[in-house]
Amino acid sequence: MSKNISGFSKKSKEEKIEWLIATYFEGNLQAKETLTSYWNTDQKLQQLHDEFIENTVSNFYLPLGVAPNFIINNKNYTLPMVIEESSVVAAAAKAAKYWSTRGGFKTTILGQEKIGQVHFIFKGETKKLNSFIDEIKPMFFEDTKGITKNMSARGGGITSISLVDKTSEIKGYYQLHACFNTIDSMGANFINSCLEQFSKTLVREAGLNEDLKKEEPIEIIMSILSNYVPNCLVKAEVRCPIEALESEDGLTKSQFAEKFVRAVEIARIEPHRAVTHNKGIMNGIDAVVLATGNDFRAVEAGIHAYACKSGQYRSLSQASIKGEELCFSLEIPLAIGTVGGLTNLHPLVKWSMQLLGSPNAMQLMEIIAVAGLAQNFGALRSLVTSGIQKGHMKMHLLNILNQLNASSLEKEAALNYFKTTAVSYSAVNDFLKNKNA
């Protein structure tokens, strides 16, 4: 049977599934049952999910967990986290409890500026183009009034427009570089709509300008927001006297603090370590971003770009000992929203936002940054003491038992046995074999 198909998107969900099963699964009914078993029994709710994307055939579930005891700016939070990786939620909760008795997390919003660009080619004189852009700049604002009306009423909108000369890198290449404040929305559609109008205004006015009419016409390449938002920043931090720390796995409090700081310094100067260090931070960030219906791919791209701002990929967190205090902080760019998108559509996103007290965008930025810092603290605390695998593999034990189709009684016995024994796939497999011998 051919695997090419025309008009697939026009087929019903049932027809799409029938084609998939016949083409890729040799008509295996179990493959079909796997898809349908994850459908929601509430037809209205299932239709809502079906309409999020095109060609929906089922729902792909990830666990929604919660991490309590987060004290952020003296307010108590329980964080919703959507993630499949063992130990992440447990580590976040453990870090939250640790810092809840040591002053909690403090946060600061350092900026809310978002960015979009019109990329175009102009082969004439740069001086002429500069004068032209200065002349028509008010028209960019005037022509987008219909788009910006509601955003402006909420205190946001277009904050600046400038011309950027990139001709030294690509012949004739310029940008209209625009900055925006989108208040509580992530703002992608708003920004892109403004940019597309800018490009129309640019071409229209260039065609009317006497100096530019003598040149080759401006060629618009593309108009698109940037997910790199280095001025949409949030900082999260914790600090406490070294004497208030815990003695860790044979280390004195001072030794633990010094070893902890050294581990962060290594991630600052060594890219191979920095990538894994930052991945641990993203375990916390992505989990809350997903739970609140935000775009984790955009967040990931922007944050990793920020980690390279010095010209080398580095740690996103910093640690130091100042006087008798351990100071640990994280500074990241975050373009997220609390209105629009899935925020008002997905029932569990709405639930997660209510759990957090219905935060605005700045408050959610703070919460997300704290999740990243807590996760990083938990990972580093393990790494410099007992090692990462001890706790991780304990949490992974149930996954291994499920892979080996262990019964309820076998799981109970294994959980008890591995309280004092190192966990590995082979060790669990041997345990089950010996138990059943």
Residue 7 scores a pLDDT above 60: yes
Q: Are residues 222 and 327 in the same domain?
A: no
Query: Does residue 204 sit within a domain?
Result: yes
> Among residues 13, 235, 279, 411, which one is catalytic?
279
Q: What pLDDT digit, counting tens, does each position of 219-230 carry? A: 999 999 999 999
Q: Are residues 238 and 302 in the same domain?
A: yes
Q: Are residues 19 and 78 in the same domain?
A: no
Q: Are residues 281 and 315 in the same domain?
A: yes
Number of C-beta neighbours around residue 55 at 10 A: 11
- Which of the residue ranges 191-195, 245-249, 410-414 would you say has the lowest mean pLDDT? 410-414
Q: Are residues 265 and 175 in the same domain?
A: no
Residue 389 scores a pLDDT above 80: no
Q: What pLDDT digit, counting tens, does each position of 66-97 carry? A: 999 999 999 999 999 999 998 899 999 999 99
For residue 420, what pLDDT band results from cuts at 50, 70 and 90? confident
Query: Does residue 57 sit within a domain?
Result: no
Q: Are residues 102 and 122 in the same domain?
A: no
Q: By the 8 A CB rule, do 333 and 232 touch?
A: yes
- Which of the residue ranges 26-30, 215-219, 247-251, 375-379 would you say has the lowest mean pLDDT? 247-251
Q: Amino acid identity of 242?
A: I
Q: By the 8 A CB rule, do 122 and 218 touch?
A: yes
Q: What is the mean pLDDT of residues 43-61?
A: 94
Where is the domain boundary, 177, 198, 226? 226
In which order are the strands placed within the sheet that holds 173-181? 157-165, 173-181, 114-121, 219-226
Q: What pLDDT digit, counting tens, does each position of 329-362 carry? A: 999 999 999 998 777 789 999 999 999 999 999 9
Q: What pLDDT digit, counting tens, does each position of 200-219 carry? A: 999 999 999 988 988 889 99
**Residue 3, pLDDT score:** 84
Q: Which has the closest alpha carbon to 47: 19, 7, 12?
A: 12
**Residue 1, pLDDT score:** 54
> Among residues 32, 94, 119, 392, which one is catalytic?
392
Q: Are residues 84 and 149 in the same domain?
A: no
Q: Are residues 291 and 320 in the same domain?
A: yes
CA distances (Å), origin 398, targets 60, 405, 415, 424: 20, 10, 8, 11
Q: What is the pTM of this model?
A: 0.89
Mean pLDDT of the chain, nearest integer: 93
> Among residues 184, 295, 346, 396, which one is catalytic?
295
SS3 108: strand
**Residue 392 annotated in active site:** yes
Residue 391 scores a pLDDT above 70: no
Query: Does residue 58 sit within a domain?
Result: no
Residue 135 scores a pLDDT above 80: yes
Tokens, residue 390: 């001890």
**Residue 421, pLDDT score:** 77
Residues with Cβ < 8 Å from 270, sequence gap 6 or more? none
Query: Does residue 56 sit within a domain?
Result: no
Q: Are residues 242 and 373 in the same domain?
A: yes
**Residue 387, pLDDT score:** 66
Q: By the 8 A CB rule, do 86 and 395 touch?
A: yes
Q: Is the torsion defined by CA of 366, 371, 374, 375 positive or negative? A: negative
Q: How far is CA 300 from its chain centroid?
A: 5
Residues with Cβ < 8 Å from 363, sequence gap 6 or more? 356
Query: Does residue 59 sit within a domain?
Result: no
Q: Are residues 274 and 312 in the same domain?
A: yes
Residue 388 scores a pLDDT above 70: no
Q: Strand locations in 307-424, DSSP E?
A: 317-322, 325-333
For residue 136, what pLDDT band results from cuts at 50, 70 and 90? very high
Burial of 330 (0-12, 13-18, 19+ CB in 10 A): buried
Q: Are residues 21 and 84 in the same domain?
A: no
Q: By the 8 A CB rule, do 279 and 300 touch?
A: no
**Residue 5, pLDDT score:** 92
Residue 165 scores a pLDDT above 80: yes
Residue 420 domain boundaries: 391-436
Query: Does residue 1 sit within a domain?
Result: no
**Residue 279 annotated in active site:** yes
Residue 395 scores a pLDDT above 70: no
Residue 44 scores a pLDDT above 70: yes
For residue 435, what pLDDT band results from cuts at 50, 70 and 90? confident
Q: Are residues 125 and 251 in the same domain?
A: no
Residues with Cβ < 8 Å from 197, sequence gap 6 or more? 140, 143, 144, 147
Residue 437 scores a pLDDT above 70: no
**Residue 393, pLDDT score:** 61
Q: By the 8 A CB rule, do 231 and 129 touch?
A: no
**Residue 211, pLDDT score:** 87
* CATH number assigned to the domain comprising residue 195: 3.30.70.420
How many independent structural domains does the chain possess? 4
Residue 386 scores a pLDDT above 80: no
Q: What pLDDT digit, counting tens, does each position of 275-322 carry? A: 999 999 999 999 999 999 999 999 999 999 999 999 999 999 999 999
> Among residues 11, 13, 18, 85, which one is catalytic?
85
Q: By the 8 A CB rule, do 224 and 195 touch?
A: yes
**Residue 213, pLDDT score:** 84
Query: Does residue 222 sit within a domain?
Result: yes
Which of the 8 DSSP states describes residue 246? P
For residue 424, what pLDDT band results from cuts at 50, 70 and 90? confident
**Residue 134 annotated in active site:** no
Number of C-beta neighbours around residue 204 at 10 A: 13
* CATH number assigned to the domain comprising residue 296: 3.90.770.10
How far is the C-alpha of 303 from the C-alpha of 263, rounded, in Å? 20
Query: Does residue 411 sit within a domain?
Result: yes
How far is the C-alpha of 139 from the C-alpha of 133, rounded, in Å? 10
